């Protein structure tokens, strides 16, 4: 048995922003009855709410959703879930909230999986002849984890990418009787995730990806946000990844949502159906 499989089966993860996705459907019939002056007031209120959330960075963004799954997507990045609850409830008290209905949501946390780091760290400690789960091992492990977290901190707490297009979808790793990601040996999972990551690197500069973990928070295991200047990149990236082993054998995908970024100056136009 490989030493990594003997000792470590669970790769380390690092967590950052708490995330909330909210999907709203607009009551267009009700909104059409509102006067232009009232629409302006609603748009100003909506813009003021967003400005308040974005005082320290681009942490709340709104998108017009194409298709039947909703009309508006809100994405919120916050330090804690308490702050997310406050954002959710504060927006619900706005007057504009009387003209929309929440039809879906997703709760998660920015996550960086550390397959390579976990395996290399274990190899390093074993080479130092430390025994797993001893005080010396745990202290060395915690120190290395702390140093690595500091190195990647900016990736855990980045602003929402300021691109015009977004694609969001949830996903799982399969846990069936015959195909079960969580029973695959650690080294094999590491190799598959390396292959998966190499495909993503090919699209660096074309798409910005934010992976969030949702085990214990929502119905799927991960949420994936893709941001780009070119929406066709979403199709090409997801299509190419379908051919790697991690996705082809073990990936399970939920519904896809596609949206176009709404600047606060566009809120009134959106309400008037002019976008």
- Identify the burial level of 1 via C-beta atoms within 10 angstroms of its C-beta, where 0-12 means exposed, 13-18 middle and 19 or more buried: exposed
Residue 172 contacts residue 163 (beta carbons within 8 Å): no
257 is catalytic: no
Question: Rounded CA gap, 146 and 149, in Å?
Answer: 5
Q: Where are the beta strands (DSSP E) in the chain?
A: 12-26, 60-65, 72-78, 100-114, 165-173, 207-213, 222-228, 251-253, 257-262
Question: Rounded CA gap, 192 and 178, in Å?
Answer: 18
Active-site entry in 165, 169, 250, 267: 169
Tokens of 213: 């973990």
Catalytic residue ranges: 169
């Amino acid at each position: 048995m490989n030493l990594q499989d003997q000792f470590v089966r669970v790769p380390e993860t690092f967590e950052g922003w708490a995330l909330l996705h909210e999907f709203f459907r607009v009551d267009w019939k009700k909104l059409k009855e509102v006067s232009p002056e009232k629409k302006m007031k609603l748009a100003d209120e909506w813009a003021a709410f967003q400005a308040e959330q974005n005082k320290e960075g681009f942490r709340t963004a709104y998108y017009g959703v194409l298709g039947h799954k909703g009309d508006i997507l809100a994405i919120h990045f916050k330090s804690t879930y308490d702050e997310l609850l406050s954002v959710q409830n504060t927006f619900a008290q706005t007057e504009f909230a009387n003209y929309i209905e929440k039809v879906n949501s997703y709760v998660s946390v920015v996550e960086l999986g550390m397959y390579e780091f976990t395996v290399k760290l274990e190899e390093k400690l074993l080479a130092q002849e430390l025994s797993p789960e001893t005080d010396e091992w745990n202290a060395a492990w915690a120190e290395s984890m702390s140093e690595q977290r500091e190195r990647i901190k900016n990736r855990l707490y980045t602003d929402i990418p300021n691109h015009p297009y977004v694609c969001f979808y949830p996903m799982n790793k399969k846990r069936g009787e015959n195909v079960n990601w969580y029973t695959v040996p650690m080294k094999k999972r590491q190799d598959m995730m390396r292959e998966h990551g190499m495909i993503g690197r090919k699209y660096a500069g074309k798409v910005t990806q934010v992976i969030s973990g949702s085990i214990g928070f929502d119905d799927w295991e991960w949420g994936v946000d893709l941001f780009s200047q070119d929406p066709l990149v979403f199709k090409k990236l997801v299509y190419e990844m379908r051919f790697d082993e991690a996705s082809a054998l073990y990936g399970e995908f939920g519904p896809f949502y596609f949206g176009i970024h709404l600047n606060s100056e566009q809120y009134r136009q959106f309400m008037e159906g002019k976008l």
